[in-house]
């Protein structure tokens, strides 16, 4: 069960961040309102928030999930694959260290973004992508295995629609995963109950299970209906401005 989350609001430079989308520039005021609604949803799920100040020096710094992989006993500081984002780890590390008895770091030449890591109970799916290289994945796999977790590697470099693994999969609890159709047959998901995200609603695959609730992006009615039919307690949130910057629900917090 999660009890806390670290969040950081978008800064005034948010629209200058990295993106591959063609959805236009985000409206910072609207992004701030959407972020505050997200924070209220986390609190509704029972989480106490550590609210960090906006960081003008790093336009992508609201996407705090990319800076660390958290387990109950160990916080693993990442090494983001985009050079412009690597300073974000140092900017948040002191806060992360305060909450964990032990820390480790991904070392050069490894690169790793937290958005490529999907925790599913005692198992971790590790994405190999344009941001997370094989060495970074190997280092993380070793650290997680040492903590008693099992791991699977999922290479998404041929899936051009995905920036991060969690752009295409999410843990729904138990042995159930939401997965976009293009990844559904991957060997890493054999033995799991795969719920295929409806075609055209792939963005909604980035959803977050928290303490019996499931945060999803609003505007994807077929996926929302599918989840409700499975008996899941869905809470839909507007994410339009973060989508413009390749961001999703999971990206906006570090939950522990």
| Those residues with Cβ within 8 angstroms of residue 185's Cβ, 6 or more apart along the chain or in another chain | none
Tell me 153's DSSP state. E
Query: How many other CB atoms are there within 10 angstroms of residue 91's CB atom?
Result: 16
Query: Residues near 174 by Cβ (< 8 Å), separated by ≥ 6?
Result: 121, 193
Question: Is residue 251 flagged as an active site residue?
Answer: yes
Element (H, E) at 209: strand 208-210
Q: Residue 112 gets which letter from DSSP? A: B
The residue annotated as part of the active site, out of 39, 45, 164, 207, is 164
In contact, 135 and 151? CB cutoff 8 Å: no
Taking phi first (over 0 means left), then psi (-120 to 50 degrees means alpha), and beta for anything else, what does residue 254 get?
beta
Tokens of 94: 């002191």
Q: How far apart are CA 134 and CA 112, in angstroms?
A: 9
Q: Are strands 4-7 and 48-51 parallel, antiparallel or unpaired?
A: parallel
Q: Is 39 a catalytic residue?
A: no
Of 39, 45, 118, 251, catalytic: 251
Catalytic residues: 164, 251
């Amino acid at each position: 069960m999660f009890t806390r989350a670290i969040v950081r609001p978008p800064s005034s430079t948010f629209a200058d961040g990295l993106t591959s989308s063609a959805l236009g520039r985000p409206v910072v005021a609207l992004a701030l309102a959407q972020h505050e609604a997200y924070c209220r949803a986390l609190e509704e799920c029972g989480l106490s928030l550590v609210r960090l100040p906006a960081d003008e020096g790093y336009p992508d710094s609201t996407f705090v999930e990319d800076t660390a992989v958290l387990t109950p006993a160990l916080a693993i500081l990442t090494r983001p694959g985009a050079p412009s984002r690597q300073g974000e780890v140092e900017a948040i590390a002191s806060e992360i260290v305060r909450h964990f008895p032990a820390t480790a770091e991904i070392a050069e030449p490894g690169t790793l973004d937290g958005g490529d890591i999907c925790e599913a109970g005692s198992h971790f799916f590790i994405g190999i992508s344009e941001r997370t290289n094989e060495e970074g994945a190997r280092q993380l796999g070793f650290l997680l295995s040492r903590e008693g977790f099992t791991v699977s590697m999922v290479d998404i470099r041929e899936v051009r629609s995905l920036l991060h693994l969690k752009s295409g999969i999410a843990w729904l609890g138990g042995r159930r995963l939401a997965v976009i159709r293009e990844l559904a047959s991957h060997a890493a998901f054999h033995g799991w109950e795969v719920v295929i995200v409806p075609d055209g609603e792939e963005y909604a695959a980035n959803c977050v299970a928290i303490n019996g609730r499931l945060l999803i992006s609003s505007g994807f009615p077929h996926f929302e209906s599918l989840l409700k039919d499975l008996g899941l307690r869905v809470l839909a949130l507007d994410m339009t401005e973060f989508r413009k910057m390749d961001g999703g629900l999971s990206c906006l917090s570090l939950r522990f």
